Amino acid sequence: MILIQGFNYLFGSFFNKQKVVISNSLNYLNRKRDINRNYLDHVRLATLELVAEEINKKGLQGAVAELGVYKGKFARYINQYFPERDFYLFDTFEGFDKKDIAAELNNNFSSGAQDFTNTSVEKVLAIMPHAKQCIVKKGFFPETAKGLKEEFVFVSIDADLYDPIYNGLNYFYPLLKKGGYIFVHDFNNDGYKGAKQAVKQFCKENNVSFTPIPDACGSAIIAK
């Protein structure tokens, strides 16, 4: 604790400008962590680890999933903290779909112009610590989920755009076990205004609450 306080005292201004937060909130878990030095979103990772600890301690049965995997930087930690669970990876692995981009433009949510094509299934699986648990669902969601009979304890939705986020919430929430969590990335990201709209619309329609957290892109958490 003293070390963390001293580190923040010496370098706090610099890390604050970089939007990096370092704390001792996970010390009680007393474990070693394999953290990529290029991934500096401590709040997001710490929250994931705490949630995973709660789910695993409760002995909840079910799979985990991520909708919007891209290069797998966050997915690798889901796989790390849920090493024995089936992990479903939903993504086109070819960037945004034209249908979703059209909806973004029509609603002025975002430009949809960001290029996320520089990835592949092979590259993502190569960084997974427990790749044998990964089940790749490549293609347009929710078609890629058809016929899937599964319950989930944790889901990360990082699809950026309104339609896939809204469709993801409608698909995953009914399948979420009581005590499980859904993380929705970019909730407070002005670059993807549809993310916040999708969460608010879903929660209003289903009388569900959400909790925003101060990570790098302002995620929202939905618990069941």
State how beta strands 152-157 and 176-184 pair: parallel
pLDDT band at 36 (very low <50, low <70, confident <90, very high): low
pLDDT above 70: residue 10: no
pLDDT above 80: residue 21: no
Q: What whole-number distance in Å separates Cα of residue 68 and Cα of residue 27?
A: 30
Which pair of structure tokens corresponds to residue 96?
């945004």
CATH 3.40.50.150 correct for 39-223: yes
Across 149-173, average pLDDT? 97
pLDDT band at 112 (very low <50, low <70, confident <90, very high): confident
pLDDT band at 11 (very low <50, low <70, confident <90, very high): low
Give tens-digit pLDDT for 72-102.
Answer: 999 999 999 999 999 999 999 999 988 888 8
pLDDT for the residue numbered 63: 98
**Domain ranges (residues) in the chain:** 1-30, 39-223
Phi and psi, residue 200, nearest 5°:
-65, -40
pLDDT above 50: residue 7: no
Positive or negative, the CA dihedral 20, 181, 126, 161 is negative
pLDDT for the residue numbered 20: 52
pLDDT above 60: residue 24: no
Residue 109 DSSP symbol: S
pLDDT for the residue numbered 41: 81
Please state which of the ranges 20-24, 65-69, 188-192 shows the lowest mean pLDDT. 20-24
Burial of 25 (0-12, 13-18, 19+ CB in 10 A): middle
pLDDT band at 30 (very low <50, low <70, confident <90, very high): low
Q: What whole-number distance in Å separates Cα of residue 173 and Cα of residue 176?
A: 5
Judge contact between 174 and 180, C-beta under 8 A: no
What would the DSSP string read from start to end of 169-199?
Answer: HHHHGGGEEEEEEEEETTTT-GGGHHHHHHH
Q: Percent of the chain having pLDDT more than 70?
A: 82
- For 157-182, letters b (16+ CB in 10 Å) and e give bbbbbbbbbbbbbebbbebbbeebbb
pLDDT for the residue numbered 134: 98
pLDDT for the residue numbered 103: 85
pLDDT for the residue numbered 8: 47
